[in-house]
Amino acid sequence: MMKNVITISREFGSGGRTIGKRVAELLGYAFYDSEIVNQVAERSGFSSAFIEECGEYAGARSSLLFSLATASQYTAGGMSVQDKLYLEQENIIRELADKGGCVIVGRCADYILRERKDALHVFICSDMESRAKRIVECYGKKDKSPEKRLAEKDQKRRVYYRNYTGREWGAMKNYSLCLNSAALGLETCAQIIVQAAK
């Protein structure tokens, strides 16, 4: 059975987004990443930056922007703004999947679409050295070391994923396919995913 929906979960700096985009090109599928954030922003009235903040800092809640914006904002049913935004994101991901022919990067899409028989769930990992090199190439040098940035970003993703799925982010049993982009290369990873989808 052809997989009409492919979800890509990834370690920061592993090239997962690039691989996902390439898979979409090879299959002629739509590609969704930041577009989901923009749609949530449109529907909720919050800025895209705030939506990103809610995803990035879920569980950590250390940002001033996040703290100020959510301190007293609850929906009529007592649901936090963060939870409301997650549910909106979930609805959008389901709608996009129902259209078929798409690659969705991150945002717990593997969990949200876990019951779909036409979905292929992929996790991309890589070694620390390759990831550190990649984030410096893509995002430049910062005050923090690349290794520290990687550890922090992965921890935030891990906490966010656990908060909303109850599952362990990156655990192989949660995915159809796990690939090491440092060992295989980005193009080979993309080709393997395409073959698995067929």
Q: Residues in the chain with pLDDT < 50?
A: 60-72, 74
Residue 56 is predicted with a pLDDT of: 57
The terminus-to-terminus CA distance of the chain in angstroms comes to: 7
How buried is residue 97: exposed, middle or buried, by Cβ count under 10 Å (0-12/13-18/19+)?
Answer: buried
The predicted model scores a pTM of: 0.86
Residue 51's pLDDT is 82
Residue 92 sits in a domain of what CATH number?
3.40.50.300
- Asked whether 193 and 18 are in contact (CB, 8 A), the reply is no
**pLDDT at residue 66, rounded to an integer:** 41
Range of the domain at 41: 5-197
| pLDDT tens-digit series, residues 132-181 | 999 988 888 887 888 998 998 899 889 999 999 999 999 999 999 999 99
Q: How far is CA 53 from CA 37, 82, 102, 157, in A?
A: 11, 10, 25, 12
Counting the structural domains of the chain, the total is 1
